[in-house]
Amino acid sequence: MINKTTNRYPINPLIENRWSTRAFSGRKVEDEKLNSILEAGLWAASAFNEQPWRFIVGRKGSETFEKILSTLVEWNQRWAGRAGVLVLNVAKNTFTHNNKPNATCNYDLGQAAAFMSIEAVNQGLCSHQMSGFDAVKAAEAFDIGSAYNIISVTAIGYYGNPGDLPPDMQKPENEKRSRKGFNTRVFSAKFEN
């Protein structure tokens, strides 16, 4: 896409090109592309193959989209309304086979969301995952019970014009991407050493 990584070591180009834009065009996402993105999420790994993820998908212009958008914090509402799709990411918090707590359900959902983000790049789209939303409001809006954790929202769509963003969002959109290095995130003999 537009804002490619600067890597220390070679990685898959789909990962290099994945980034969390806020500049969406508002263009409709084709069914085939959206279905491929959702299919990618279904193939993530999960404990006991539970596949605890659930996705509530709202297309721009639909009631579902507006409900999801209304749960976002004001900052995210200012840009996410131009995405073609909003997805509410939910995890079932118990195992189906024994009804015991699934300690990794949120982790497993995160893997599914990451797979979807990579497939979005493969489909020529962008995505942006958000934790800035009201999970209680989302539970009420979609009648989601306590057996599920409402974790995040993902915006998916075509890249737009950063100049269409509010002025306070334009600078971060154009900044060079960076990541902390191995020396602060990868360890061998001792934690944080």
> Does the residue 167 lie in any domain?
no
Half-sphere exposure of 76 (CA within 13 A, CB side): 19
> Does the residue 170 lie in any domain?
no
Domain that holds residue 46: 28-160
> Does the residue 56 lie in any domain?
yes
Write down the pLDDT at residue 187: 86
Of 139-143, 145-149, 160-164, 172-176, the least confident: 172-176
> Does the residue 182 lie in any domain?
no
**pLDDT per position as a tens digit, 29-88:** 999 999 999 999 999 999 999 999 999 999 999 999 999 999 999 999 999 999 999 999
Q: Tokens at residue 173, please?
A: 């959109």
Q: Is the pLDDT of residue 156 over 70?
A: yes
Q: Tokens at residue 87, please?
A: 């997805």
> Does the residue 187 lie in any domain?
no
> Does the residue 139 lie in any domain?
yes
In the chain, the largest separation of any two C-alpha atoms, in whole Å, equals 53
Q: Please count the structural domains in the chain.
A: 1
Work out the pLDDT band at 1, boundaries 50, 70, 90: very low
Residue where the block lists tokens 């507006």:
66
The secondary structure element, H or E, covering residue 183 is: helix 182-185
Q: Tokens at residue 48, please?
A: 């006991």
> Does the residue 134 lie in any domain?
yes
Work out the pLDDT band at 99, boundaries 50, 70, 90: very high
Write down the pLDDT at residue 185: 82
Write down the pLDDT at residue 69: 98
Query: Mean pLDDT of all residues in the chain?
Result: 92
Strands 148-157 and 53-59: unpaired
Work out the pLDDT band at 179, boundaries 50, 70, 90: confident
Q: Which residue in 134, 48, 120, 19 sits closest to 88, CA to CA?
A: 134
Q: What percent of the chain has pLDDT over 70?
A: 97
Query: What is the CB neighbour count within 10 angstroms for residue 133?
Result: 23
Helix, strand, coil share of the chain (percent; to 5) = 40, 20, 40
> Does the residue 5 lie in any domain?
no
Q: Is the pLDDT of residue 4 over 80?
A: no
CATH number at residue 60: 3.40.109.10
The secondary structure element, H or E, covering residue 155 is: strand 148-157
Write down the pLDDT at residue 138: 98
Work out the pLDDT band at 3, boundaries 50, 70, 90: low
Q: Which residue in 168, 151, 142, 35 sits closest to 104, CA to CA?
A: 151
